[in-house]
């Protein structure tokens, strides 16, 4: 199952920020061009991730199950054959929502294509969105929010995907990823020194480390058997997954996440880069 997680784009960051503040809405529309279903999975994972740190971590058992579409509390609501959702599907959902989640704190319904929801369905859903149990969450994927009735729209937060071009991974992140894939210290040192010489700004470094961290997380998922994707940076993530042992990759991922987070505080880029290089050296031993 090839799927993309639109991680490196702004939407993923928005979702993580909302999760960090406990502010993820219980109803959201994922609109715009790009991998809406991937974004919905990312959102669902953020809702039920068990990590103490950044959510979704994409590594805990809950996240992994969501990404593989096998989490019992995350349901994709869709009709493969029909153009519209069947009456039965909606009726069943209305009962299902009151059955408490199996293993997560939340229960998430992902409507993969809102074009399948006719007016009658949407009116039923509106009641569920408004009056359903607090643990239930609803994610609506649509080209445009106008696929939904204004009444439903007014209950949802709209999150827009900005398409492929914005999902691009920066050259700096790719270069750092390649340096790690060499499994040697010198290429990593060369890059960090060149960034220091360039006087890379803290915000830029944070962005680059976040993107590199996402590449590492993807490499880790590949090692865990996830099918390769073709999102930007896929080749470098694959090279990294071949070059490093799983424990190295896991520690590198944690380390990048930690230093990306440190950039949020008032820590100089030089300090972050120095610490990162030292950790990398230790990791190679």
Nearest-approach distance from CB 46 to Zn ion, in angstroms: 8
For 2, other C-beta atoms within 10 Å of its C-beta total 10
How many residues of this chain interact with Zn ion, rule: CB under 5 A? 6
Residue 244: phi and psi, rounded to 5, are -115, 155
User: What DSSP designation does 147 have?
Assistant: G
Instruction: For residue 57, state whether it binds Zn ion (rule: CB under 5 A).
Output: yes
How far apart are the C-alpha atoms of 206 and 213, rounded to whole Å? Answer: 10
Q: Which of 101, 69, 89 is nearest to 3 (CA)?
A: 69
How far apart are the C-alpha atoms of 209 and 117, rounded to whole Å? Answer: 40
User: Interacting stretch for Zn ion, rule CB under 5 A, among 41-49, 106-114, 161-169, 262-270?
Assistant: 41-49
Tally of residues, the chain: 285
Instruction: For residue 193, state whether it binds Zn ion (rule: CB under 5 A).
Output: no
Nearest-approach distance from CB 64 to Zn ion, in angstroms: 8
Q: Which of 103, 157, 105, 89 is nearest to 129 (CA)?
A: 157
How far apart are the C-alpha atoms of 188 and 178, rounded to whole Å? Answer: 9
Within positions 58 to 77, which residues make up the interface with Zn ion, using CB under 5 A?
Answer: 60, 63
Nearest-approach distance from CB 106 to Zn ion, in angstroms: 13
Position of tokens 């096998």?
Answer: 70
For 45, other C-beta atoms within 10 Å of its C-beta total 27
Instruction: For residue 51, state whether it binds Zn ion (rule: CB under 5 A).
Output: yes
For Zn ion, give the closer residue by CB, 35 or 54. 54
For Zn ion, give the closer residue by CB, 56 or 269. 56
Instruction: For residue 248, state whether it binds Zn ion (rule: CB under 5 A).
Output: no
User: Interacting stretch for Zn ion, rule CB under 5 A, among 45-53, 117-125, 146-154, 226-234?
Assistant: 45-53
Nearest-approach distance from CB 225 to Zn ion, in angstroms: 17
Instruction: For residue 49, state whether it binds Zn ion (rule: CB under 5 A).
Output: yes
Positions touching Zn ion (CB under 5 A) are 49, 51, 56-57, 60, 63
């Amino acid at each position: 199952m090839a799927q993309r997680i639109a991680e490196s784009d702004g939407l993923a960051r928005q979702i993580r920020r909302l999760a960090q503040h406990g502010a993820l809405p219980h109803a959201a529309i994922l609109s715009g061009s790009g991998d809406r279903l991937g974004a919905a999975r990312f959102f669902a994972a953020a809702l039920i991730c068990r990590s103490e740190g950044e959510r979704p971590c994409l590594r805990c058992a809950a996240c992994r199950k969501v990404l593989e579409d096998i989490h019992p509390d995350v349901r994709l609501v869709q009709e493969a054959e029909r153009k519209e959702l069947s009456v039965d599907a909606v009726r069943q959902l209305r009962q299902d929502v009151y059955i408490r989640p199996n293993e997560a704190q939340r229960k998430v319904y992902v409507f993969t294509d809102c074009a399948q929801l006719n007016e009658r369905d949407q009116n039923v859903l509106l009641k569920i969105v408004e009056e359903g149990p607090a643990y239930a969450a609803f994610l609506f994927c649509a080209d445009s929010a106008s696929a939904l009735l204004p009444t439903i729209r007014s209950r949802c937060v709209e999150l827009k995907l900005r398409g492929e071009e914005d999902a691009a991974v920066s050259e700096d992140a790719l270069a750092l990823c390649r340096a790690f894939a060499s499994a040697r210290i010198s290429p990593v040192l060369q890059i960090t020194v060149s960034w220091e010489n360039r006087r890379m700004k803290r915000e830029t470094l944070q962005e680059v480390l976040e993107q590199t961290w996402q590449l590492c997380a993807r490499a880790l998922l590949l090692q865990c058997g996830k099918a390769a994707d073709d999102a930007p940076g896929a080749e470098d993530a694959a090279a990294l997954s071949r070059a490093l042992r799983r424990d190295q990759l896991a520690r590198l991922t944690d380390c990048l996440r930690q230093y990306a987070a440190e950039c949020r505080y008032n820590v100089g880029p030089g300090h972050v880069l120095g610490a990162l290089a030292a950790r990398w050296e230790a990791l190679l031993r």
